[in-house]
Chain A
């Protein structure tokens, strides 16, 4: 059953997956284009190179969100056209079907992550680093995978919610913004949205994986 759901999801996601996987493989390699023999480069050249690789690495969390969000949206795309009638008329409990779809999306999300890991490994092997500078291909790959899966899980959950549920979430966000505006008008320094964002983006908040240091090469 899982194999068939995975296959259905693969059919609708394969083009996006191919493009995303190629990009994921290519992104770590960008650093190599700016130089590969850093052991003989002077201090100034090394600093400039590290700056470029750092900028490339800063793109990765956004790319992870893009990959996760796209896969989360595409997970339900086979059912969207038929207004979910097919999925709902199959003889499996709804929770089981949602789990099958979620699992299939997770399995597919491994492809861009594996491509990024391969790209990071190739980039690390292609560069001669001076003493004191290290490559972190495994760390950045794990980080990218976790960020992708987090984004996928959030978007999948939103896409799986009923229209009423989605409206409730949008309503809650709008209410928080309105409350902030009201607090601002009264001169209060407290912000609901800032507190919520802080809770989400600092450990153990689920989005904390997106922040922090993303670096393939570092001291």
Chain B
């Protein structure tokens, strides 16, 4: 096994004018729960489809679980559980039939665990999928991929549109599974607070490019909004990364990454006075990162 469950190098994909995945180099450590963030149309689903061979990349390389994609795709997919953005199961099936159909394709499929999950999720075995609610379909999709006993879970907006109770059930089942199996989870979601609770790494995608990839603690603790008096007009070498700066009257507000308390001294050294250091939650940090990535200086 390698250090990374997912590793892409300079991935290129351009389905047509107006959108492209450019130089995408992702690294998802084994055993990590990796949150894949990005606004609508950023390329998250496309990236996932490239990883799993649903689309063919036009350049770059992909390694998943130490195997090269798409050359070794069947072996990769046999150890990967995938929940797509839109339910893809055959709606003519009943719950029991869907489980039987899915299970025969996976040598490690745990039938007893699937039955336990079905009971736990209160999914009636004879209910036709076309009659299930969105929440029930969401639970069934999670059931199927967890019963595969995969080494890697790739989840594309798995809780999107689910009510809070179902969402909690799904995430609890997911976290229980990860605790037991030390599986890697690659999860894309709009629900930033949900990712904040479960992820230990995050990657931020915008306009087909990966704009940040860092451990969750570094992201949560390292992004600060700092209100300054007498801010220097020119900034040379800094011990942190200046994401953005904005004048507010006499003061200035800086958003910085990689912040640590001893860095206060740097401001004293340049004659600035730190008036306030404000913690940003993941959502605010995400918005600031996107704003910085989209500013003219960033391009």
Contacts and interface: CB of A to CB of B under 8 A. Distances in A.
Interface stretch (B93-101, B175-183, B263-271): B93-101
B74 A85 contact: no
B92 A89 contact: no
Contact of A11 (B75, B89, B93): B93
B90 A86 contact: yes
B68 to A, nearest CB: 15
Interface string B40-60: 000000000000111000000
Interface string A1-27: 101100110011000000000000000
A82 B88 contact: yes
A82 B54 CA distance: 12
B92 A88 contact: no
A8 B89 contact: no
Contact of A4 (B52, B74, B76, B100): B100
B88 A86 contact: yes
Contact of B93 (A3, A8, A93): A8
Interface string A84-107: 011011111100000000000000
A86 B104 contact: no
Interface string B73-86: 01111100010101
B78 A91 contact: yes
A11 B90 contact: yes
Contacts of A78: 90, 92
Nearest to A97: B105
A12 B74 CA distance: 26
A89 B77 contact: yes
A88 B74 contact: no
B106 interface: yes
Contacts, number: 55
A91 B87 contact: no
A81 B106 CA distance: 23
B295 interface: no
A91 B67 CA distance: 14
Interface residues on A, range: 10 to 19
A129 B74 CA distance: 60
A13 B75 CA distance: 31
B245 to A, nearest CB: 44
B91 interface: yes
B93 A91 contact: no
Given A1-B105, A8-B101, A91 B82 contact: no
Contact of B105 (A83, A85, A91): A91
A89 B76 CA distance: 10
Given A90-B77, A93-B74, A82 B87 contact: yes
B261 to A, nearest CB: 47
A217 B54 CA distance: 53
Contacts of B100: 4
A91 B77 contact: yes
B54 A85 contact: yes
A82 B92 contact: no
Contacts of B52: 88-89
17 contacts: A1-B104, A4-B100, A4-B101, A7-B97, A8-B92, A8-B101, A81-B91, A82-B86, A86-B90, A88-B53, A90-B77, A90-B105, A91-B75, A91-B77, A91-B105, A92-B74, A92-B105
